[in-house]
Amino acid sequence: MNSITVNPMQSELFSRYGEFLDQAKGELKCDTEIVTHIHDLGRLSSLGDDPVIAYVRAYKRPYLVDKLEKHEGTSEIFFPKTGEAIMVFADSLENGLPDLNTIAAFLIKPGNPFISKKGIWHWVPYPIDDDWESFLLVEKDLVENDIEIVNLDDVINIEIKKGVEK
């Protein structure tokens, strides 16, 4: 069984799979004693023609990756709400299958939104606690028309190093 370790969610580490939404990247439009408004943190154009708000709740299970999924027509914008979780990502090979040489795992915390790029392989988050919740923006027909799931030949174990978890 192959293993991967969990990385902190940081822009430079995550950039090949998506974009970590960080207010430092936006444009400060207003900063007063009652409000700070930072604008243009990310684009919605990668969501398709009919983006919707969705909700996902993942439940605790063993940290074993045996499947991956991807969406060719849309990115996904996650807004983690509760709990901490681990999420795995991988690039595609030329034949469209996951490139397991690029698989990486990241720790997702509440209040740290991110965009998963179109065509990036990933799997349902693995909660650290009992469950994990997130709102996400996706193309409306994502589940019906833009999801490809593959079973992996070899199961991958996610290892949590001390200091990465809570």
Q: What is the CATH number of the domain that holds 6?
A: 2.60.120.480
Residue 164 lies in a domain: no
Digit-by-digit pLDDT tens for the chain (166 residues) are 688 899 888 778 899 999 888 766 777 888 889 888 888 777 777 787 888 999 999 999 999 999 999 999 889 999 999 999 999 999 999 999 999 999 999 999 998 999 999 999 999 999 998 999 999 999 888 888 889 999 999 999 999 875 555 4
Count of C-beta atoms within a 10 Å radius of residue 3: 10
- CA-to-CA distance for 143 and 45, rounded, in angstroms? 19
142: in domain: yes
Confirm whether 139 is domain-assigned.
Answer: yes
Tell me how far apart the alpha carbons of residues 47 and 71 are, in angstroms, rounded to a whole number.
Answer: 10
The confidence score (pLDDT) of residue 67 equals 97
The residue behind tokens 């799979």 is 17
SS3 assignment, position 155: strand
Cα radius of gyration rounded to whole Å, the chain: 16
pLDDT at 166: 45
CA distance 42 to 20: 9
The answer to whether residue 148 is domain-embedded is yes
Q: Within a domain: residue 165? A: no
Quote the number of domains for the chain: 1
- Domain containing residue 78: 2-159
Give the C-alpha separation, 89 to 111, whole Å. 20
Query: E strands along 10-163, which residues?
Result: 18-20, 27-31, 36-39, 51-59, 64-70, 76-82, 85-90, 104-108, 114-116, 121-122, 126-127, 131-139, 148-159
pTM of the model: 0.87
Predicted pLDDT of residue 41 = 75
